[in-house]
Amino acid sequence: MEKFGGKPITIVKAEDSDAPGPQSEIRYAIVQDSSSNAWKYFRVDEITGGIFPLDKFDREAQDSFIFDVEAMDSMQSSLPGATGTNKDIVKVQIFIGDINDNPPYFTEKRYEGRVKENAEIYTDIITVKAQDLDRHSTLRYDLQSPDEKRIPFGVKTDSGVVFVKEALDYEQQNVYHLLLTVTDGKHNTTTSIYIYIEDVNDNAPIFEMPIYSITIVEEDQQVPKRLFTVKATDSDNDEASEKIVYKLEGQGVGHYFTIDPLYGHIDVIKPLDRDPPDGVPAWKFIVQGIDD
């Protein structure tokens, strides 16, 4: 609240029933006592009773003042036992009106949130609330990227709740730096939010080659023999997905061929016959790579 010009905040008025003259000429004064410091901030016109501010006010420091104003006439009292002039006291309370003179602020310079990459759209991640010393301020929030790139997140403008707006993928991007801005309609303040994406096992293992093949000599007695090693990788970055287990299915598995479940080594364990009726010219089987 700023200093007023020539207009009083309010006017106190007393009446005196005595006939015109010094005995009815009323003067006003603010009572100075230890219970109130209002006399430092206000003055009263001794003739009109108009109360004026002496300085600017800060509602956030003190939102009201209560003080006494004394009205007295200008002649010695003739009332029995009275000393001095006749007087009366009225109590005055002045409320300091709020204006938007304080910017909103965040209690932290940096906020962090975590969300799984398979979180559903509109999943809430973190709530960031700004504070404002102004009593009746209305705060609105806005979320954006520092480099103005598209981001898969949104913010509820009236509450500061950051939520998932689009599908996430840990393998594409696992951390986002965002800027959250709050405004009270006049002042703006910005803080940083870091959203960390948590990986989930949403990718299947992929073999380095689509087909593995080898030619061997029939009825080779030097068995068991290593044929080749298959290898699959998993783009999921969690520890469980890195542990791929290999499994064979199909023709001759277990009887003629085995696989090391951890390392993918495929071995022939018995001599093979190409000629009918018991032999075949080619063996086909499927290798599975299974993550945990």
Q: Under CATH, what is the fold of the domain 110-198?
A: Immunoglobulin-like (2.60.40)
Condensed to tens digits (0 to 9), the pLDDT of residues 169-191 reads: 998 999 999 999 999 989 999 99
Which pLDDT score is estimated for 1? 44
Residue position matching structure tokens 């009593």: 135
Angle (CA) 151-236-209 rounded to 5° is: 120
Which pLDDT score is estimated for 240? 59
The pLDDT of 264-280, averaged and rounded, is 88
Which pLDDT score is estimated for 178? 97
3-class state of residue 241 by DSSP: helix
Q: Which of 4-13, 18-27, 30-39, 162-171 has the highest mean pLDDT?
A: 162-171
3-class state of residue 256 by DSSP: coil
Alpha-carbon gap, residue 154 to 138, rounded angstroms: 19
Q: How would DSSP label each residue in 20-68?
A: SSGGG--EEEEPPBTTB-GGGTEEE-TTT-EEEESS---TTT-SEEEEE
> Is it true that 110-198 and 206-290 share their CATH fold?
yes
Share of the chain above pLDDT 70, in %: 92
According to CATH, the superfamily of the domain at 10-95 is Cadherins (2.60.40.60)
pLDDT band at 6 (very low <50, low <70, confident <90, very high): confident
Alpha-carbon gap, residue 86 to 82, rounded angstroms: 8
Which pLDDT score is estimated for 153? 97
Look at 19 and 199; give whichever has higher pLDDT: 199
| Cα–Cα distances in angstroms (integers) from residue 106 to residues 111, 160, 176, 191, in the given order | 10, 11, 20, 7
Domain boundaries in the chain? 10-95, 110-198, 206-290
- As its CATH architecture, domain 206-290 has Sandwich (2.60)
Model's pTM, two decimal places? Answer: 0.58
Condensed to tens digits (0 to 9), the pLDDT of residues 53-110 reads: 988 887 777 888 889 999 988 777 666 656 667 888 899 998 887 777 789 999 999 9
Are 96 and 63 a contacting pair, CB within 8 Å?
yes
Condensed to tens digits (0 to 9), the pLDDT of residues 132-154 reads: 988 778 999 999 999 988 999 99
Which pLDDT score is estimated for 173? 94
Are 96 and 42 a contacting pair, CB within 8 Å?
no
Which pLDDT score is estimated for 278? 77
Question: Cis ω on the peptide bond leading into residue 20 (within 30° of 0)?
Answer: no
pLDDT band at 2 (very low <50, low <70, confident <90, very high): very low
